Amino acid sequence: MGALSIQQVRKSYGSVEILKGIDIAIEPGEFLILVGASGCGKSTLLSMIAGLDVPTSGRILIGERDVTHLPSRERDIAMVFQSYALYPNMNVAQNIAFGLEMRKVPKSEREAAVARVAQMLQIDHLLDRKPGQLSGGQRQRVAMGRALARDPKLFLFDEPLSNLDAKLRVEMRAEIKRLHQRTRTTTVYVTHDQVEAMTLGDRIAVMRDGRVEQFGTPDDIYTRPATRFVAEFIGSPAMNLVAAQPTPVGASAGGLPLPMSDAQRDALHALSTARAGDLRYGVRPEHLTLAGPDGTPALSGQLAMVEPTGPETYAMVDTPLGTWTARVPGKVAARVGDAVSLAWNPASVHLFDADDRRVA
């Protein structure tokens, strides 16, 4: 039996259906990411797992227990909120121990648990301070410590890093990953940040409009996106996509033949004309190479904008097929307005049919 099983979970508020039949199962010790744009239903699903809301239909099992209608206190879970939810009148040690105290855990065990998690999170020198005396990162560590002290079957994180600045988000993301590697507690983590999703998760559920668009490992989702939506949502900058037409030898757009692998041509020919329709032909920015006008172009254009980020540069190129973005290492020698060419390996191409499902 897995650590968490979500079976055909639906949730409606009146006539509005928020969750539309969610099926997810993860094994003990896995780190599951629920990722998607605002309003896709990921926080609603987390609330169902936490027992803060009840599904309209479907079941939720933690281990072998059906917890669908059980209150939160009977689910053996611990939750870390975006807002930290610390008690301002209690010091750090009291905040960490509060859940244990409510469960009538003996004082000696509470003190041992506080000492253990405080050392683990490197906040043992802050135990006498109140939340108002702490930085955002320190408050988040205290919130995590309160969850860790419980030693639950399931950790739930609801966008815990959203209130932190960029540098601190990176540090806390690494801290959460280290903690999971150390404790191996089954974890469900909600975020809208694809970088958090890709770096933290063992498996990712990409959600859209109340459904799971794709469920798999970070590598699966990045290298073989199941739909056009996943291809555009995961990856920064977003995948370059262009509408194309199937031809007897492959695909073309704007009268230009588009490079494809033999396997993609075979997959394309296997489609019915109706399903092939207007293809979407995609290449990720990091798979494009930028050359001068004397290069071997797959697509010629004019350099429209350059965004240096330090170790790499984003180059926007106006082409006959629209503006394409290349992510290239180092600096770009060409200047805005120069003629350039884009080339790419056919093996890096992604094809999606008229229904936006992956072809190859």
> Phi and psi at residue 331, in whole multiples of 5°?
-100, 160
pLDDT digits (tens, 9 = 90+) for 279-304: 899 999 999 998 755 545 578 999 99
The residues spanned by each domain of the chain are: 4-226, 236-352
CA distance 201 to 199: 6
Averaged pLDDT for residues 341-359: 90
Give the burial string for 60-84 (b: 16+ CB within 10 Å, else e). bbbbeeebbeeeeeebbbbbbebeb
Helices in the chain by DSSP H: which ranges? 42-50, 92-102, 107-120, 136-150, 166-183, 194-200, 218-223, 228-233, 262-270, 273-276
Say what the pTM is. Answer: 0.88
Closest CA to 24 of 37, 33, 11, 16: 33
The CATH class of 236-352 is: mainly beta
Q: Which of 308, 307, 325 is nearest to 316 (CA)?
A: 325
Instruction: Note the pLDDT tens digit of each residue in 208-256.
Output: 999 999 999 999 999 999 999 999 999 989 999 999 888 888 888 888 8
Mapped onto helix, strand or coil, the DSSP state of residue 320 is coil
In order, the DSSP letters of 102-148 are HTT--HHHHHHHHHHHHHHTT-GGGTT--GGGS-HHHHHHHHHHHHH
Q: pLDDT exceeding 90 applies to what percent of the chain?
A: 54
Answer whether residue 337 shows pLDDT above 80: yes
Homologous superfamily assigned to 4-226: P-loop containing nucleotide triphosphate hydrolases (3.40.50.300)
